[in-house]
Structure 1
Amino acid sequence: MVSFELLEQLHKSDLQFILRANGFTGTGNKHELIDRVLSSLSLSQALNSLTFTDVKTLCSFFNIRYQGKQASITALCNLCGASSDTNKVADFVHDEISSIKNELNDIVGLAGVKGKIKELIAFSAIQQKRKNLGLESVSVGRHIVFTGNPGTGKTTVAGIIGRLFKAYGLVSQGGFREVKRSDLVGEYIGESEKTTSKILEEAKGGVLFIDEAYALAGEKNDFGKVVIETLMVAMEKYRDDIVIIVAGYKDEMEQFLNMNPGLKSRFNFFIEFDDYNDEELVRIVKVMAEKNDYLIEKELEIALLDKFSNCRNSTDKFANGRLARNLFESMLLKQAIRLSETESYDDAMLQLLTTADL
């Protein structure tokens, strides 16, 4: 038997899912889809994109005893005389996961956040493995609440979570969509439900990140409440193939979650982003400098510590990482002006940022 005959036993929607999950277009008739799958992917890669139940069905059709998803894919590939490529696929996935985890670990600070994400991914991955093996699994929603001040890395971490879920096979597409109230709430009756439903459909298979989600609460007759109701339905309906993350200030998010009976219960993970301390903010500036081929003199490090401390004490809403980025960019401009006013400068001077640039 050849690979084409095996894939013919799948539904057209399964073939479209395989293609879209691997970044290819899913249009055309069934034979065209099979040709595209086989020309773009190995048989093993294609079958790995399916759920364990789909693999189980194929095994049943060809009288192969189901022995777990990976072992069964190997058996199906052997039936077609195709290389299973299981080790290569596993190595690629392992490398991708390691790369994303390293990116998370390289973020300055956020020790508590990183620990929570480790718990979330570990639990979700184990339940997915149990499901793939045909064991009972606990279907728990992966929706998350982020609380914390601006500039604490919430958007960055949300994007990393989306990529980790994709790499582990916990969502089908791995996309990341960031929206705010203005993207969801319409001006007329019925517009908000339609707009929100469209965004939810587009976000399926990945992460939908709603920043400043508390703004959806609005006033008594505000259309934002309709958006919340639409979100609640989708959070249950698509719980196995979408991750919705809502984010905002801690107190405002608590009020938001308590405004609708059942809303808070839709979220299973709560992650608090603490403010960065002054040393961590200096480290953030140094990381940005290193990435852009700049050096920070020691005196400037000390001056930055004082600067961050003064800014923290002079405002209620501390900007955290955003303040660090703004200061870094401001220093680049001041250095450029300083150097342009000198008669000559060497390569070392082009790289060095000093207290004169703060």
Structure 2
Amino acid sequence: DRATKPGGSVEKHFEDFVGCEALISRLRRCQTVVKNTKSRGKDPRELIPFTFLFCGPLGTGKTTAAKRIGQIFYEMGFLATPEVMDRSATHLIGEYVGHTGPKTTKLFDSALGRVLFIDESYKLDEGSYTREAVVEMINLLGSERYRKKLVVILAGYQKDIHQLMATNPGFTSRLPEVINFDPLTPGQCAQLLFKRMVALDIETEELEQSTPLVSFLEAYFGKISQLPFWGNGRDVGTLASSI
């Protein structure tokens, strides 16, 4: 029964990830709170964050992590479905004066009981219509109709997120949970490559035990990660698929 059980292991949900320790730790604490609070017959909803800021470059797992949050919050009984609505900030912005507010509200309505993942959040800082979307979001996140009724995640590069927060102080109180997704280190890239290969039914046990090969891969990833437009985990996955 999802209403009485905290769900499966957080680590199990993230076993194919490399990194994300801060998020895993935060979600593990959430599960503990849910378990302890429900055992006393109380509603843990007020003790659990339903809004997050995901800060990090391309390919660091932000979208996939949002999907895992959807599954975990569904298992904890907070969401009607594990579905994640993956949207860009442009989906909030209207085409004429007075259009943005209703458009933002309509999106929130459709996301009730789900995860609303808003990528490219820097676009919320690009003009009068976007400012209207920000004001509407801040109001909706604080209203009883939406508060704790859906999970909202804003994602983008760290610099852009910080700028958005600086120009819109109301966001700070509405989205206090900041999760940083750091660029993968060469060693993490090698680990992720092996995980992706295993997912493709490629045997890696002997390869992982080969110190020269691991050293070569770390040196290789150390070089290519310096290239412009390096996609972190996304490019590692592409490499695994090409093997």
Establish whether TM, by shorter chain, passes 0.5: yes
Letter of the structure 1 residue corresponding to residue 217 of structure 2: L
Contact 2:56 2:157 in 1 (8 A): yes
Question: Matches of 1:139 and 1:103 in 2, distance apart?
Answer: 22
Alpha carbons of 1:122 and 1:229: their partners in 2 closer, same or farther (altered >3 Å)?
Answer: farther
Picking from 172, 185, 188, the partner of 2:93 is: 185
Show structure 2 runs of 5+ residues with no match.
none
Provide Cα deviations, 1:55-103, integer angstroms capped at 9, x if missing partner.
xxxxxxxxxxxxxxxxxxxxxxxxxxxxxxxxxxx6xx57xx2266412
Picking from 126, 131, 134, the partner of 1:228 is: 134
Map 1:1-358 → 2, pairs under 5 A: 97-98=7-8, 101-123=11-33, 125=34, 129=38, 133=41, 138=46, 141-219=49-127, 221=128, 223-237=129-143, 238-295=146-203, 301-315=214-228, 318-329=230-241, 332=242, 353=243
TM-score by length of 1: 0.59
1:107 shift after superposition: 1.7
Contact 1:284 1:321 in 2 (8 A): yes
1:177 shift after superposition: 0.8
Q: Which moved more, 1:112-121 or 1:231-240?
A: 112-121
Question: Matches of 1:174 and 1:148 in 2, distance apart?
Answer: 23
Alpha carbons of 1:141 and 1:100: their partners in 2 closer, same or farther (altered >3 Å)?
Answer: closer
1:189 shift after superposition: 1.9
Contact 2:70 2:115 in 1 (8 A): yes
Alpha carbons of 1:320 and 1:135: their partners in 2 closer, same or farther (altered >3 Å)?
Answer: closer
Higher relative contact order (CA 8 A, sep 6+): 2
Larger radius of gyration: 1
Contact 2:57 2:181 in 1 (8 A): yes
Show structure 1 runs of 5+ residues with no match.
1-44, 50-89, 333-352, 354-358
Report percent identity of matched pairs. Answer: 25
Contact 1:282 1:304 in 2 (8 A): yes
User: Runs of 4+ in structure 1 displaced over 6 angstroms?
Assistant: none
Alpha carbons of 1:327 and 1:140: their partners in 2 closer, same or farther (altered >3 Å)?
Answer: closer
Letter of the structure 2 residue corresponding to residue 129 of structure 1: K
Contact 2:8 2:72 in 1 (8 A): no
Alpha carbons of 1:291 and 1:175: their partners in 2 closer, same or farther (altered >3 Å)?
Answer: closer
What CA RMSD, in Å, does the superposition of the two structures yield over aligned residues? 2.8
Q: Would you say how many aligned residue pairs link Structure 1 and Structure 2?
A: 236
TM-score by length of 2: 0.83
Contact 1:208 1:243 in 2 (8 A): yes
Question: Matches of 1:139 and 1:291 in 2, distance apart?
Answer: 36
Question: Matches of 1:134 and 1:286 in 2, distance apart?
Answer: 43
* Greater helix proportion: 1
